[in-house]
């Protein structure tokens, strides 16, 4: 197993400098005046974590697998995890080791936390969960002051809810987000808040209406809505759509509409080549789109969505994969100029990073 990262300013900055150097070299074919760099906290930045469970005799513990040799090694603390995760880890594993029913055939434990200290723990099993399990899980809920989701094949039991509420502050306004168990959320809360502020500041003078693709739970949608007359956002995952609607209502925002559609489907609707029942209460002709926001999966934008993005005056692009971003920019810069470029150190001590790009039509 490779040695663990050293969590201090010097070692953190060294790994970040390497990312900056690599990114600048990879994107040298584009005219980028300046790369804005947003640092992560050195420790306790991950709000969620997943651990496999290892049973050795009567003892159970968290493990992770070395990515090189696949060898399991036991985990006793998790410095990159939130303070809450690190507080709960020993308390939970002690309680599980003292409870034969909860320990039996436990396969995995997932933590989902907030900066305020709220926590949801998923216990995943290779067995059927019955009423006895529910009763024992409730004792853990009371002991640790957490919510629990029990998972097994064909089962998903809630004790008592399956989400936490996170708060981000953007331009001095607080936004509250439902983050649901097993649904995507940004893992690094501090970087997420920096990304939201960056996108909101860069688009504050765009005006007219905004189209957003891949909106998730409305992470960017809520604060960006302040900059536009109306926002139409699309998302394909039903759980994310439900959370987005929850978050819109919780934050009392009245200029956002959500459509449960893929980007490919919405492109068909926008071009008038296909009608969708899911858009029956949305008239696309009512929108005066001048800007598009995209936060695609690692595969980036497909060819048709790229072509659609080029129709807009302004493009806000958040990318979790610099390789596909670079490929997409080769087409987008045929019609648009890069105005801003940012590096967000979403995943310290790994080669992964997040980028933000603002493009305006030439």
DSSP 93-156: HHHHHT-HHHHTTEEEEEEEE-TTS-EEEEEEESS---HHHHHHHHHHHHHHT-EEEEEETTEE
pLDDT of residue 1: 40
Domains of the chain with CATH codes: 9-30+183-361 (3.40.50.150), 48-161 (2.40.50.1070)
Is 192 labeled as catalytic in the residue annotation?
no
Cis peptide, bond prior to residue 182, ω within 30 of zero: no
Judged by DSSP in three states, 259 sits in: strand
pLDDT of residue 138: 98
Residues contacting 57, CB < 8 A, separation 6+? none
Question: pLDDT tens-digit profile of 10-23?
Answer: 999 999 999 999 99
Is 354 labeled as catalytic in the residue annotation?
yes
Matching residue, tokens 């504050």: 204
pLDDT of residue 323: 96
Question: pLDDT tens-digit profile of 157-186?
Answer: 999 999 999 999 999 999 999 999 999 899
Residues forming a β-bridge with 201: none
Q: Which of 181, 215, 354, 355 is catalytic?
A: 354
Element (H, E) at 158: strand 155-159
Of all residues in the chain, what percent carry a pLDDT higher than 90?
91
Q: What is the pTM of this model?
A: 0.94
pLDDT of residue 3: 53
Which residues of the chain are modeled with pLDDT < 50?
A: 1-2
pLDDT of residue 69: 74
Residues contacting 149, CB < 8 A, separation 6+? 120, 121, 122, 123, 156, 157, 158, 159, 162, 181, 182
Element (H, E) at 14: helix 9-26
Q: What distance in Å separates the CA atoms of residue 157 and residue 359, rounded to the nearest whole number?
A: 45
Q: Which of 166, 192, 212, 320 is catalytic?
A: 320
């Amino acid at each position: 197993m490779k040695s663990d990262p050293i969590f201090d300013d010097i070692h953190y900055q060294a790994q970040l400098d390497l990312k900056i150097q690599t990114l600048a070299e990879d994107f040298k074919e584009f005219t980028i005046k300046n790369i804005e760099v947003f640092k992560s906290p050195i420790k306790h930045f991950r709000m969620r974590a997943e651990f496999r469970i290892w049973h050795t005799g009567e003892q159970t513990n968290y493990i992770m697998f070395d990515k090189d040799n696949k060898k399991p090694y036991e985990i006793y603390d998790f410095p990159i995890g939130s303070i809450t995760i690190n507080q709960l880890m020993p308390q939970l594993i002690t309680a599980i080791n003292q409870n034969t029913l909860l320990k039996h055939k436990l396969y995995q434990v997932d933590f989902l936390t907030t900066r305020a200290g709220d926590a949801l723990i998923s216990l995943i099993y290779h067995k059927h969960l019955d009423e006895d399990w529910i009763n024992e899980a409730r004792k853990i809920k009371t002991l640790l002051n957490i919510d629990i989701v029990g998972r097994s094949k064909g089962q998903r039991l809630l004790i008592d809810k399956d989400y936490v509420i996170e708060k981000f502050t953007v331009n001095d306004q607080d936004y509250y987000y439902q983050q649901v168990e097993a649904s995507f959320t940004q893992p690094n809360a501090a970087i997420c808040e920096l990304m939201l502020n960056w996108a909101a500041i860069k688009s504050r003078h765009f005006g007219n209406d905004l189209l957003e693709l891949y909106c998730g739970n409305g992470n960017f949608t809520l604060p960006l809505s302040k900059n536009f007359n109306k926002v139409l956002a699309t998302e394909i995952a039903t759980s994310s759509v439900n959370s987005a609607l929850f978050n819109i209502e919780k934050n009392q925002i009245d200029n956002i509409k959500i459509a449960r559609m893929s980007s490919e489907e919405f492109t068909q609707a926008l071009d008038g080549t296909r009608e969708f029942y899911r858009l029956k209460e949305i008239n696309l002709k009512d929108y005066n789109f001048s800007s598009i926001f995209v936060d695609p999966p690692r595969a980036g934008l497909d060819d048709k969505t790229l072509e659609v993005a080029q129709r807009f005056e302004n493009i806000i692009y958040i990318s979790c994969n610099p390789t596909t971003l670079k490929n997409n920019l080769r087409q987008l810069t045929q019609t648009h100029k890069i105005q801003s470029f940012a590096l967000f150190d979403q995943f310290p001590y790994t080669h992964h990073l997040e980028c933000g790009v603002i493009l305006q039509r030439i």
